[in-house]
Amino acid sequence: MREILNVGHGNAVIASRIIAIVSPRSAPIKRLRKEAKQMGKVIDVTEGRQTRSVLILDTGHVVLSALMPATLVARLLGKRRKPKAIQSTEAA
């Protein structure tokens, strides 16, 4: 079964397809976003909110998300980590 990453507002991306999760502010990412839009490969899941992260997929698609890159990375890593054992904090 494939891992799914929630990218906000009920939208999801197959985690294994993600090459990078980056901030949308740099000039190279702005150019990449513009080129992808011209090719019809932009998927905007911000629902009108500010774009806070850009996901680059191995298919050439660019996904725009309203969630911060750190939030998406934490979600992605959280799915891959095994849960830690819960330790008792009771005093003896």
For 55-77, letters b (16+ CB in 10 Å) and e give bbbeeebbbbbbbebebbeebbe
Looking at residue 90, the DSSP 8-state letter turns out to be -
What integer is the mean pLDDT of 61-84? Answer: 87
Please write the tens of the pLDDT for every residue from 77-88.
986 665 555 555
Q: Report pTM.
A: 0.83
pLDDT tens figures, 13-62:
999 999 999 999 999 999 999 999 999 999 999 999 999 999 999 999 99
Inter-residue contact 22 to 69 (CB < 8 Å) = yes
Rounded-to-integer distance, Cα 70 and Cα 76, Å: 10
Signed CA dihedral, 72, 56, 82, 9: sign only: positive
Q: Domain coordinates of the chain in residue numbers?
A: 4-78
CA dihedral 42, 43, 44, 45 (to 10 degrees): -160
Q: What's the pLDDT tens digit per position in 1-15?
A: 789 999 999 999 999
